[in-house]
Chains A and B, each alone.
Chain A
């Protein structure tokens, strides 16, 4: 029998046995409901939008009413109009964040602080068109900002970044736990003797990781896919480009899982019979948590700093940090490429290493095996 047949059989068994568990189906439905529910929540929060617009005196009659009417299609947003004596006074109010936009009717300009708010601009434009409806051609407001747009991330980008990396952390730890508990169970109840009497250890390792990985991939694709789809469709008040960053979670889960699941499997194979899956997997779980928090701190401090860049390409942290950093500030193509190459090389090395110690560890019951002892046995 070819290795592929053995791996397929083993992977298929892993998937079938787990798909039958009600916990798996329940957790999938629950998470999907949470993602869907967050859209409803975002919608409710959205309704409280208020646009504060300043206009230089004298304000034309009916402007406030026209603005309010123009805002109606935008979830009944509230528009507060404030009349300022001069452009300088308006600019001060804008700088002091007392208003969100300054309307200069004399030269049809709409001025924002640093980022143009597309909705506020559309409301102001529609209102001015309505007021001047007799005067063709309808004027269009040009938008501008006091300062060049800042590279600072929007709230939505921060949310996508942290939700994305948290989702990755949780799924890597969750499916990694499945892998290690499967390995420890096989080892402790000795069914592994029967399997390894006919199957090479590395096929067992591969089948297990691939089977559980495919399930995780399917579940995560559903969840991240739904979130990305909702972002792209504009369900959230967020730029549609973020959908791409959300979707980036999916390939990086695959890479991260390949890396961490193999490490979990090796840890399970080396466990002693007294250890349960949780304690045996601690070194891997702590590594995962460590890089997650390092990434969190680095990105919060300075998403474009050297530490954040390093963690973006470092193979152990790349799966968690790269998608988050991409949502926050964008990641240059060369960093994507470097991270990909480094993580693939690491997966190859780890699979080679784990493949060698896996069989030795599994067949050694009782005291468990240290990494070094296991490596020596394979010489």
Chain B
């Protein structure tokens, strides 16, 4: 289990990490969310000893992380980088060996990941000859080649096409199912909601929320209603106190309301003025929750 314990880091005037704790267990996947500059990358770099913390600790299975443990971690840095003039297959094999694999095992693992990520025919190509998307896949393979126990990926979905996003989501689920602890950052909140059981939301170096996605959503003070009406007046509103219109389009309405407002009141008001085609009530989406938490 990865445990981050009360970490602090200041860069000049900026308090990048302002003391928080969180953990990722083996077999679990944690989506790490926060606006730009929230301190996500700093935490990830701290796990790999690339940033020296002012105070606090990063622990793996209860012990401070040393170089030996990091060999069993996989990392996809925010700033991507591979040797541009080195062949893809050999490069993966090299990173496998740097993480302690024997030569034959490293070669087999490199081939396996090239195959899985659809790069098999490009194994002999130099990295600089690959397209941007394929370079991203190669970068991912470099993080995975040694079957890490902890996988840390900084914005792995950024810049990928929908097919690649699908593949990557599958890969991450597979890694968690294999027993790896997976921590990744992303701004694609719908995607995170889709594939993660747990999230941590940070801003200005502080932890705003962490835990099970559904529980976090349910704990929110906000609720949302989606309503589709047939034959309602164009400017129709339910007229229930505490209910706000967020969006109206083609007879579909999205309403925000506080948790203590009874949704039945909204439904009753709608049925009075039009034919209700669809009505749904529930907690906010992850994206809404995120905005609720990070906007002051």
Contact = CB atoms under 8 A, between A and B. Distances in A.
B290 interface: no
Interface residues of A, number: 22
B48 A197 contact: yes
Contacts of A10: 98
Nearest to B72: A198
B252 interface: no
A66 interface: no
Contacts of B67: 198-200
A193 B77 CA distance: 7
Interface in B48-90: 48-50, 67-68, 70-71, 73, 75, 77, 79-86
B81 A193 contact: yes
Interface string B105-119: 000000000000000
Contacts of B84: 185, 189
Interface residues of B, number: 26
Interface string A195-227: 111111000000000000000000000000000
B142 A197 contact: no
B187 interface: no
B94 A193 contact: no
B85 A193 contact: no
A265 B207 CA distance: 40
A271 B50 CA distance: 18
A333 interface: no
Contacts of B80: 190
Interface string A1-39: 100001001100100010000000000000000000000
B81 A192 contact: yes
A188 to B, nearest CB: 9
A369 B77 CA distance: 22
Given A9-B94, A17-B86, A198 B99 contact: yes
Given A197-B48, A200-B67, A191 B82 contact: yes
Interface of A, secondary structure class, is helix
B184 interface: no
Contact of B71 (A1, A17, A196): A1
Interface string A215-246: 00000000000000000000000000000000
B98 A193 contact: no
Contacts of A17: 83, 85-86
A306 B273 CA distance: 108
A45 interface: no
Given A190-B77, A190-B79, A190-B81, A199 B98 contact: yes
Interface string B170-211: 000000000000000000000000000000000000000000
A198 B77 contact: no
A194 B77 contact: yes
A191 to B, nearest CB: 4
A212 to B, nearest CB: 15
Given A197-B50, A197-B75, A6 B98 contact: yes
Contacts of B86: 13, 17
B136 to A, nearest CB: 14
A293 B84 CA distance: 38
A200 B70 CA distance: 11
A363 interface: yes
B100 interface: yes
B26 interface: no
Interface string A360-372: 0001010000000
B95 interface: yes
Nearest to B97: A9
A13 B103 CA distance: 13
Nearest to A6: B98
B85 A9 contact: no
Contacts of A199: 67, 98
Contacts of A197: 48-50, 70, 73, 75, 77
A202 B196 CA distance: 38
B188 to A, nearest CB: 23
B140 to A, nearest CB: 12
Nearest to A204: B98
Given A191-B83, A194-B75, A1 B100 contact: yes
Nearest to A377: B52
Interface string A329-362: 0000000000000000000000000000000000
B95 A194 contact: yes
A194 B139 CA distance: 10
Contacts of A13: 86, 94
Contacts of A196: 48-50
Contacts of A363: 50
A168 B273 CA distance: 94
Greatest chain B CB density within 10 A among A189, A194, A200, A363 is at: A194
Contacts of A1: 68, 71, 98-100
Interface string B131-154: 000000000001000000000000
B223 to A, nearest CB: 43
Contacts of B94: 9, 13
A284 B34 CA distance: 44
Nearest to B48: A197
A194 B75 CA distance: 7
Interface of A: 1, 6, 9-10, 13, 17, 185-186, 189-200, 363, 365
Interface of B: 45, 48-50, 67-68, 70-71, 73, 75, 77, 79-86, 94-95, 97-100, 142
10 contacts: A9-B98, A17-B83, A191-B82, A193-B45, A193-B79, A194-B77, A196-B50, A197-B77, A198-B99, A199-B67
Given A185-B84, A194-B95, A196-B48, 10 more contacts: A1-B100, A6-B98, A9-B98, A17-B83, A17-B86, A189-B83, A190-B81, A191-B82, A196-B49, A198-B70
Q: Kindly list the 9 A-B residue pairs having the minimum CB-CB distance in the complex, ordered from nearest.
A: A190-B81, A191-B81, A197-B48, A190-B79, A193-B77, A197-B75, A1-B100, A189-B81, A198-B70
